[in-house]
């Protein structure tokens, strides 16, 4: 009985050993096949890590302001009898914009001019008599005072009539019309906005430490999302004489160079704008196109295109690097990034100038993938890209 049990156990162990050996051989064959498997090469474009000299700039947020800008108001009360504008048009200095009813003042002016004529005639007669010592000095002074009073009354009425004829104080562009014919205007009521937007000013603030490098005459570049396809150059024209005690910032004003194209004012007062002040110094940088960067939460990286490294006998994670038609492989390299400008980004650590990296199609790559370099579909990155270049 015991012999039978022992033989049965021995047979069972033999069967298990045979099955285990067969399974081990199968797994070994699969591992070997996986190591020898070649994935097709991935087609990408390539570029070299470049060195460049980037200008040093100070960045700020600014607000646009017209060189001249006022809201024209009524100086005196009166009814609107004439309007010479519709709103939005360009006017020249001295153009008549609005006229109020001055019929009453015209009548008063006629009476005042008659009184003035009589007073001057009386003064002339009294002056002759006074020279002949026929009249006293008091009578002469009274006649002279009456003539001056009549002249002053005439001037006051004339000034009132002039105030009821409102003209453009300078050349510029009108805003929306705020009054209409027949409307009774009180003193100080707004009529229309007048802005002279050429040249245009931009006001912005910089940290107080910028004062050591900031000077009038420095070049500025202004951009705004209202005109996304254009950059407006200008220069620093004024620096404030005091620092804000709360924010410790310094107010700066720059003047833009001819922002208007004919009557097409694309910049308007009050617009938000991004400002860059260009400093005279430059700095050396190592740059790559933004399209070459693989952004990830665990770190940014690029794929260096180089020959696969020779095996060193140490165990590796994942499949070994593979070479493409040019003998190159994509080797992932983590980098530290700096400032971005246009389609380029500064690399502060991880790359050296002259290294070849993948430029377009990095989202398809994995570490150690075989590479096939092509120029088809390659992009042309620029430091000053424009929307119509896409």
Domain count for the chain: 4
Identify the pLDDT of residue 28.
66
DSSP assignment letter at 294: B
Domain of 132 in residue numbering reads as: 102-163
Q: Are 291 and 345 in the same domain?
A: yes
CATH code of the domain covering residue 113 = 1.10.287
Q: Are 118 and 47 in the same domain?
A: no
259 Cβ neighbours under 8 A, 6+ residues apart:
197, 198, 199, 200, 232, 265, 266, 267
Q: Are 127 and 180 in the same domain?
A: no
Q: Quick check: helix, strand or coil at residue 156?
A: helix
Q: Are 336 and 372 in the same domain?
A: yes
Is 131 within a domain? Answer: yes
Q: Are 62 and 210 in the same domain?
A: yes
CA separation, residue 68 to residues 45, 76, 225, 263 (Å): 53, 23, 23, 16
Q: Are 277 and 379 in the same domain?
A: no
Identify the pLDDT of residue 261.
53
Domain final residue pick, 253, 282, 311: 282
Q: Are 256 and 290 in the same domain?
A: no
CATH code of the domain covering residue 248 = 2.40.30.170
User: What is the mean pLDDT, run by run of 10 residues, along the chain of 390 residues?
Assistant: 69 71 67 59 88 90 91 91 89 92 88 86 82 79 86 90 90 90 90 88 94 92 86 93 92 83 69 92 91 90 85 59 76 91 90 91 84 81 67
Is 21 within a domain? Answer: no
CATH code of the domain covering residue 368 = 2.40.420.20
Q: Are 276 and 294 in the same domain?
A: no
Q: Are 268 and 297 in the same domain?
A: no
Is 314 within a domain? Answer: yes
Identify the pLDDT of residue 263.
46
Identify the pLDDT of residue 264.
54
Handedness of CA 207, 209, 214, 220 (dihedral sign): negative
In terms of C-beta density within 10 A (0-12 exposed, 13-18 middle, 19 or more buried), how is residue 258 classed? exposed
Q: Are 255 and 314 in the same domain?
A: no
Q: Where are the alpha helices (DSSP H) in 208-312?
A: none
Q: Are 251 and 303 in the same domain?
A: no
Identify the pLDDT of residue 258.
66
Is 26 within a domain? Answer: no
pTM comes to 0.64
Is 62 within a domain? Answer: yes
Q: Are 184 and 229 in the same domain?
A: no
């Amino acid at each position: 009985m015991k012999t039978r049990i022992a033989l049965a156990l021995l047979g069972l162990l033999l069967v298990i050993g045979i099955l285990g050996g067969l399974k081990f051989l199968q797994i070994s064959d699969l591992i070997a096949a996986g190591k020898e498997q070649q994935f097709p090469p991935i087609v990408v474009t390539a570029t070299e890590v470049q060195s460049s000299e980037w200008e040093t700039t100070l960045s700020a947020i600014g607000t646009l302001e017209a060189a001249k800008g006022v809201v024209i108001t009524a100086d005196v009360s009166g009814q609107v009898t004439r309007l010479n504008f519709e709103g939005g048009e360009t006017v020249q200095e001295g153009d008549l914009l609005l006229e109020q009813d001055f019929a009453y003042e015209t009548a008063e002016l006629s009476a005042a001019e008659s009184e003035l004529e009589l007073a001057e005639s009386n003064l002339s007669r009294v002056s002759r008599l006074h020279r002949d010592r026929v009249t006293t000095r008091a009578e002469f002074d009274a006649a002279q005072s009456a003539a001056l009073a009549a002249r002053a009354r005439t001037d006051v009425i004339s000034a009132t009539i002039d105030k009821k004829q409102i003209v453009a104080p300078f050349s510029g562009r009108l805003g929306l019309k705020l009054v209409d014919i027949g409307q009774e205007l009180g003193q100080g009521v707004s009529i229309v906005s007048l802005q002279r937007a050429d040249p245009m000013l931009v006001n912005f603030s910089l940290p107080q430490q910028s004062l050591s490098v900031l000077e009038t005459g420095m070049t500025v570049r202004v951009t705004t999302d209202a005109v996304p396809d254009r950059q407006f150059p200008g220069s620093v024209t004024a620096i404030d004489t005091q620092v804000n005690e709360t924010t410790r910032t310094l107010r700066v004003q720059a003047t833009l160079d001819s922002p208007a194209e004919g009557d097409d004012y694309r910049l308007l007062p009050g617009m938000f704008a991004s400002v860059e002040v260009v400093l005279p110094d430059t700095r050396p940088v190592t740059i790559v196109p933004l399209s070459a960067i693989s952004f990830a939460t665990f770190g940014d990286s690029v794929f260096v295109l180089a020959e696969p490294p020779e095996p060193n006998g140490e165990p590796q994670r994942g499949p070994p690097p593979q070479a493409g038609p040019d003998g190159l492989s994509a080797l992932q390299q983590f980098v530290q990034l700096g400032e971005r400008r246009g389609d380029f980004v500064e690399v502060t650590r991880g790359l050296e100038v002259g290294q070849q990296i993948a430029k377009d199609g990095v989202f398809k790559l994995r570490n150690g993938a075989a590479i096939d370099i092509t120029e088809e579909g390659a992009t042309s990155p620029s430091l000053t890209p424009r929307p119509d270049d896409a």
